[in-house]
């Protein structure tokens, strides 16, 4: 007799084969072929060919199959764009078709995706959430009103580094807590973290684990039957960590509701984000939406800025002549008798070029978040079928020799001369779109750019940065680790040396 486990495996196998057959049959009905791609294996399809570094694997495949490729991951058809032209076709020309979102299982925990800007399906509710965020939270007027918050928290961070008295500093650690406290004051009106408090460090670890799980290659995303059992335990782990983060946010929300009419600001410009969001509560914008929106502001707002700051600092420490040029520019614009202010940033052209070059080599989200075709779409003679998952490989675009001269070299100067000097990173130039483009472009871009430039300017103006004595620049580990964001594989530890008079700190 066969065991019950055998029968279950047999049933699952038959269902999987049936699903694959229906997918194959549907593809055969199209008059146009799918974009080219590697041969898919049975059942698992192309899953194992992407390995642990899909941004690199997909870049290598594009050299063989071209800038528009297709893969099969389980029952999913995945199309990958790997050139500026194909990115433009996806994110601009046919943006109305690819504005959908393939929702991963991790984002469905606690039904988070239903109130999510990042993972929500395009429609009236998602558009309303985006409008709230764009108009009420990240408008130039609102961000200008919060400038003193970013300034005071950053100067506090610089003071902490100064008081370390030349001891080695974890750059990512300091950048994270600075970003978290800025967001805490902007959202809740108070700082949230202390870099030397074990509880704060533990909370940071919870956020990091959550982000890593969101970026995990999860078999449940490609095989519907696996969603019933969660074989990698991704959803279960996400639920554990998200509950802690949700509970943390709920404490602030409930406390604010209970004291809403007691000593709260009446002037709109004095309100923090939580005040604004609670004032907007309605039948189609509930407390669940408020909590989910704050969760994403905290997660994305810290992760993207922290990752970028660490990569910039790593590249500059590795290229001291570039760091020297940044500091010379800072000294010319700011001088040595005061701290950097927000109004200085627009005159720091070389620093801006450094940030652009870092985005090119180390895009924060190397494959962007997965788009989804809302209907069949023809591009370059190929058919992208309805419901296909669509990825844009920013890592490949940034290292494409057809687009960039010496693409593997860190050369900020490329953005100060010739045609490249006109390139920005706001979704208009598809050679460099670290925040995406089109309707699904990152809504937090205005905040992220203000944060990244100001933090870097203050860190580089206030200190000389060198590696610990036992390490040389040639020994620096510049490898990355693929998560939802492209993290530096090893943390950057550097020694700060004050370069301003002590009274400035």
10-residue block means of pLDDT along the chain (505 residues)? 46 57 53 87 56 89 96 89 98 97 96 96 94 91 91 95 92 95 93 84 91 91 86 95 95 89 64 91 92 95 94 97 98 97 96 98 96 97 96 97 96 91 92 96 93 97 93 90 91 96 94
Gap between the Cα atoms of 263 and 272, Å rounded: 13
Gap between the Cα atoms of 466 and 395, Å rounded: 28
Nearest to 391 by CA among 375, 410, 368, 408: 368
8 Å CB contact between 116 and 440: no
Query: In 29-168, which residue ranges form alpha helices assigned H by DSSP?
Result: 54-65, 84-88, 124-131, 140-145, 147-162
Give the chain's length. Answer: 505
Nearest 5 degrees, angle CA 339-CA 414-CA 463? 25
pLDDT at 6: 42
The pair of structure tokens assigned to 291 is 């909590």
Gap between the Cα atoms of 98 and 378, Å rounded: 12
Cα separation of the two ends of the chain: 79
Query: Where does residue 119 rank: exposed (0-12), middle (13-18), buried (19+ CB within 10 A)?
Result: buried
8 Å CB contact between 324 and 465: no
Q: Facing residues of 390 across strands?
A: 79, 371
8 Å CB contact between 23 and 78: no
Gap between the Cα atoms of 77 and 150, Å rounded: 43
pLDDT at 284: 86
* 258 Cβ neighbours under 8 A, 6+ residues apart: none
8 Å CB contact between 116 and 296: yes
Whose tokens are 């590249």? That residue is 315
Please spell the DSSP secondary structure of 474-490, one letter per residue: GG----EEESSSEEESS
- 102: helix, strand or coil: coil
pLDDT at 2: 39
**Distances in whole angstroms, Cα of residue 196 to Cα of each of 160, 173, 199, 400:** 10, 10, 9, 42
pLDDT at 226: 86
Nearest 5 degrees, angle CA 343-CA 347-CA 348? 105
Pairing label, strands 169-170, 100-101? unpaired
8 Å CB contact between 416 and 349: yes
Q: Where are the beta strands (DSSP E) in 188-306?
A: none
The pair of structure tokens assigned to 330 is 């800072």
Q: What residue ranges define each of the domains in the chain, with the CATH number in brackets?
A: 31-504 (1.10.630.10)
């Amino acid at each position: 007799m066969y065991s019950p486990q055998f029968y279950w495996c047999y049933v699952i196998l038959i269902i999987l084969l049936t699903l694959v057959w229906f997918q194959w049959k549907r593809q055969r009905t199209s008059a146009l072929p799918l974009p080219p791609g590697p041969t898919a294996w049975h059942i698992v399809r192309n899953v194992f060919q992407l390995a642990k570094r899909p941004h690199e694997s997909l870049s290598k495949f594009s050299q063989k199959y071209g800038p528009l490729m297709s893969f099969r991951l389980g029952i999913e058809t995945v199309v990958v764009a790997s050139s500026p032209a194909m990115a433009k076709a996806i994110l601009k020309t046919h943006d109305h078709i690819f504005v959908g979102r393939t929702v991963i299982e991790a984002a469905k925990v606690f039904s988070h995706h239903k109130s999510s800007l990042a993972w929500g399906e395009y429609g009236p509710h998602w558009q309303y959430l985006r409008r709230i965020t764009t108009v009420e939270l990240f408008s130039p007027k609102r961000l200008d009103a919060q400038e003193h918050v970013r300034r005071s928290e950053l100067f506090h961070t610089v003071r902490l580094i100064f008081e370390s008295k030349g001891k080695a500093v974890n750059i990512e650690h300091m950048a994270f807590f600075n970003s978290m406290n800025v967001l805490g004051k902007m959202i809740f009106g108070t700082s949230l973290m202390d870099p030397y408090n074990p509880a704060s460090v533990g909370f940071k670890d919870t956020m990091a684990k959550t982000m890593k799980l969101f970026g995990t290659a999860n078999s449940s995303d490609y095989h519907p039957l696996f969603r019933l059992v969660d074989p990698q335990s991704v959803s279960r782990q996400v639920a554990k960590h998200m509950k802690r983060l949700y509970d943390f946010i709920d404490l602030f929300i409930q406390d604010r509701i209970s004291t809403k009419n007691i000593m709260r600001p009446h002037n709109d410009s004095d309100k923090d984000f939580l005040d604004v969001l609670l004032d907007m509560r309605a039948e189609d914008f509930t407390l669940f939406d408020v909590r989910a929106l704050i969760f994403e502001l905290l997660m994305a707002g810290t992760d993207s800025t922290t990752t970028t700051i660490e990569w910039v600092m790593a590249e500059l420490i590795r290229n001291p002549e570039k760091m020297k040029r940044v500091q010379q520019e800072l000294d010319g614009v700011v001088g040595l008798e005061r701290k950097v202010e927000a109004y200085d940033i627009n005159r720091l052209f070389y620093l801006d070029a450094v940030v652009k070059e870092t985005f090119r080599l180390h895009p924060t989200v190397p494959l962007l978040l997965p788009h989804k075709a809302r209907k069949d779409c023809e591009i370059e003679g190929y058919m992208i079928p309805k419901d296909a998952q669509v990825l844009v490989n920013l890592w490949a675009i940034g290292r494409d020799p057809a687009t960039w001269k010496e693409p593997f070299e860190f050369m900020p100067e490329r953005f100060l001369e010739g045609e490249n000097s006109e390139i920005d990173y706001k979704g208009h130039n598809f050679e460099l779109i670290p925040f995406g483009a089109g309707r699904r472009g990152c809504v937090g871009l205005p905040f992220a750019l203000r944060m990244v430039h100001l933090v870097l300017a203050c860190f580089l103006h206030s200190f000389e940065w060198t590696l610990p004595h036992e390490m040389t620049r040639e020994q620096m580990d510049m490898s990355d680790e693929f998560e939802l964001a492209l993290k530096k594989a090893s943390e950057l530890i550097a020694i700060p040396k004050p370069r301003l008079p002590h009274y400035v700190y």
